[in-house]
Chain A
């Protein structure tokens, strides 16, 4: 479904991705784990076209993405829940969610997805009329994920969904990830919480300084020494 082949992405003259190759099959949850600065977020940005690769190809269902504008890429059915607080701070929770469905025209579907978002995150329903910027950090994170789901994407890119969330919500969020995957959404998941990510994912890639250094089924990665030492913090 998604293919990155030998992708090189630069910031100025700093090489962020150096020949990254990965693929995501339809229906999968694939996780990308790695240290800060390894290139995880850059990978997502390259897929969405907010930075351009200097060489290599990105394709989605056979169509090249690396020449398309970001809004076109989103219309092809890719949505991202951005890391941090990229919500619209001066719009209400409801408006933020509705904007997630901006590229859709099926009003009934939008209404039911809105309902789904509120069922997934009851806290958002409590805050429905509040401005996004007045939410707490964790609530903004819920809103960002909710907004991405509103696009009903074929492929969902999640950048650190568990960040800033309480332990109970971290559990919830990974359950939600499995749920939406079960409903047919393919997911590329970037996480620092490698243990949880590998528990829900089918396959995983380990990225180091802009390259994939390890790839395997999630179960195998959980057993691998490198992953356990470096990314799971086991002794």
Chain B
């Protein structure tokens, strides 16, 4: 059987099982349909949390708050008895689930916005606080009196039902479907919502947006400098993640018929996090599995096992076993199970593999092969077109003009009134002793740190105040001194993130995939592959970036930068750690980019053969000040440069290596 046929059979079998399950359950008297339906609600919640934690890498310890908001949105709008301002106007369930999702998404934005600058522990603490605030607020909004100097606009308003909660909550209505008495319609309702969510997530994770989330998780700074806007990307993660729980909460409220603030406490957030981590954060199948396993274990297995153990106890006459209640031990079992999984399989049950996959012919790793020399014909045609087309018509003017840039860190003046001009199509070298401020200069130009004084103009427009991702969109790309790839993404995905700022698909587009988005995605992949071919990584597209040898990582970083369609490329020590052959290949690649694409290049480099060989002009920094500027020949003879930077050995070095060339 072919792979696709086998897959079709598997899918058909899965669908058949899902459809037949409630009827089989009823026939054999298992009475687990309710529990399984609840499990699917938790799947929905876990899917939403997985966006935030698994894809975007933002630890959220208060996710149950969004669950509560979804449930209360449904309860408040749909309850026939609640003493809220909406009393007497119970809205349709079918309308309310959308409102609940929208309200949750909105609150996701509200919570997300102030936490954008924090990560890790700090973010976790903030979400923890939010998770605590919501149930408390719900408890206290059951009896509101506003008294302003005797004027009481609101007296004893019951907005949320307080501690008692909302009871009853209206049920969905469909002609002829017994939602009141039968668990099976609920099962199918939740199944449909759940399947739609899994489907939407499946498409999202493999889209422009999904890649942006993962890039943010892997390395936020690198993502920013590759054109991914971390602010909108994170906010979308919070909003979409919250909307999933809006759906889940509203269905939960209507199914349970009653909600109380106690149902959304801290433990629920933790349990949801356990589901995601157990299954494997970032893995769709893993999250579904984790949520189902934990709920079914909790709701079905524990009670069944209790019955079983008691039966054994009675038969053997052991009183301790007869009175046991395993459901009281649920947190013990959760904790134990989670600890075991984390010890034995830290990436979760179905988490992404981080090691290379078993392969028959790993015997001769390609790692030792020298990189193929760059060829003119291999320059992707689209890149040539785009880079040339993107350049403004007026020529002769410098592409980058930096005037009087000063940057201070506390008392240290890292850059002191630096001027630097890059003419269009030029290669400008930037050299200087360690700690002179070269990388800081790159950071200022690319928007990672704001200059205290000075102007930066790119193609006639100021860059000061722009975010790094906006500067990438203008046409400046960079690489990092210590390579900063997205290590747990594939090589191809790394390049695709580079294209992110040139792609346009939205959330809806990524899920619905109209022809335009499909075409865009196919084109993006084709372009990414052509770039990989150009830098000599064509057969490594599916490897994780972290598994590439050092030289390949350097070239992948350049491919990723090229994917942003830059007109100015900033390279920070691109040949560091390379041997002479690799260095020469890379030097030729840089020359080719300038010659063929008219790319302007600003180059930090300590290999004098490279800098002196390909730079048109060189600027030398020392202690944040420009000490020299000139042609390579002038710089080599400059006494201050020799004293502070070159030393006297470099001449012998150059003579030994370069004379025959």
Contact, CB under 8 Å: B649 / A171: yes
Given contacts A12-B355, A13-B359, A233-B657, contact A167 B645 (CB under 8 A): yes
Given contacts A137-B481, A167-B646, contact A235 B578 (CB under 8 A): no
Name B residues whose Cβ lies closer than 8 Å to a Cβ of A: 355-356, 358-359, 362-365, 367-368, 370, 409, 431-436, 438-439, 481-482, 549-552, 573, 576-584, 606, 608, 644-647, 649-650, 653, 656-657, 660-661
Contact, CB under 8 Å: B356 / A14: yes
Contact, CB under 8 Å: A234 / B608: no
Is there a chain B Cβ closer than 8 Å to A27's Cβ? no
Among B359, B365, B436, B583, max chain A CB count under 10 A is at B365
Is there a chain B Cβ closer than 8 Å to A183's Cβ? no
A contacts with B, residue count (CB < 8 A): 44
Contact residue among B367, B370, B656, B660 (Cβ-Cβ distance under 8 Å from A235)? B660
CA distance A59 to B579 in the complex (A): 30
Contact residue among A14, A36, A141 (Cβ-Cβ distance under 8 Å from B551)? A36
Chain A: which residue is nearest B647 at the CB level?
A: A168
Contact residue among B435, B577, B644 (Cβ-Cβ distance under 8 Å from A123)? B435
CA distance A164 to B604 in the complex (A): 10
Q: A161-192 vs B: 1/0 string, CB under 8 Å?
A: 00111111111100000000000000000001
11 pairs, CB–CB < 8 Å, chain A vs chain B:
A12-B355, A15-B363, A36-B549, A36-B550, A36-B578, A36-B582, A38-B367, A127-B435, A136-B439, A165-B606, A230-B579
Q: A212-233 vs B: 1/0 string, CB under 8 Å?
A: 0000000000000000001111
Chain B: which residue is nearest A12 at the CB level?
A: B355
Contact, CB under 8 Å: B359 / A192: no
Contact, CB under 8 Å: B579 / A231: yes
CA distance A35 to B550 in the complex (A): 10
Chain A: which residue is nearest B551 at the CB level?
A: A36
A-B contact count (CB 8 A): 130
Q: A37-B368, A195-B653 are in contact. List 4 more A-B contacts (CB 8 A).
A: A36-B550, A127-B435, A167-B646, A168-B433
Interfacial chain A residues near B576, Cβ < 8 Å: 163-164
Contact, CB under 8 Å: B606 / A167: yes
Given contacts A13-B358, A36-B549, A235-B661, contact A209 B364 (CB under 8 A): yes
Nearest CB on B from A189, distance (A): 15
Contact residue among A12, A36, A83, A166 (Cβ-Cβ distance under 8 Å from B645)? A166
Is there a chain B Cβ closer than 8 Å to A66's Cβ? no
CA distance A65 to B594 in the complex (A): 51
Chain B: which residue is nearest A169 at the CB level?
A: B434
Given contacts A164-B576, A192-B577, contact A137 B439 (CB under 8 A): yes
Given contacts A35-B579, A123-B434, A138-B434, contact A195 B646 (CB under 8 A): no
Contact, CB under 8 Å: B435 / A164: no
Contact residue among B409, B434, B657 (Cβ-Cβ distance under 8 Å from A165)? B434
Chain A to chain B: the 7 pairs with minimum beta-carbon distance, closest first? A233-B580, A138-B434, A37-B367, A37-B549, A168-B647, A12-B355, A36-B551
Contact, CB under 8 Å: B434 / A139: yes
Chain B: which residue is nearest A127 at the CB level?
A: B435
Is there a chain B Cβ closer than 8 Å to A208's Cβ? yes
Is there a chain B Cβ closer than 8 Å to A102's Cβ? no
Contact, CB under 8 Å: B362 / A14: yes
Nearest CB on A from B589, distance (A): 16
Chain A: which residue is nearest B644 at the CB level?
A: A168
Is there a chain B Cβ closer than 8 Å to A3's Cβ? no
Among A12, A83, A172, max chain B CB count under 10 A is at A12
Chain B: which residue is nearest A84 at the CB level?
A: B482
Contact residue among B434, B577, B581, B582 (Cβ-Cβ distance under 8 Å from A142)? B434
CA distance A165 to B660 in the complex (A): 26
Contact residue among A13, A38, A164, A192 (Cβ-Cβ distance under 8 Å from B356)? A13
CA distance A23 to B661 in the complex (A): 37
Contact, CB under 8 Å: A36 / B577: yes
Is there a chain B Cβ closer than 8 Å to A113's Cβ? no
Interfacial chain A residues near B355, Cβ < 8 Å: 11-12
Is there a chain B Cβ closer than 8 Å to A67's Cβ? no
Is there a chain B Cβ closer than 8 Å to A85's Cβ? yes
Is there a chain B Cβ closer than 8 Å to A73's Cβ? no
Is there a chain B Cβ closer than 8 Å to A135's Cβ? yes
Chain A: which residue is nearest B368 at the CB level?
A: A209
Contact, CB under 8 Å: B435 / A139: yes
Nearest CB on A from B469, distance (A): 24
CA distance A127 to B431 in the complex (A): 21
Is there a chain B Cβ closer than 8 Å to A134's Cβ? yes
Nearest CB on A from B91, distance (A): 54
Given contacts A35-B370, A136-B439, contact A192 B434 (CB under 8 A): no
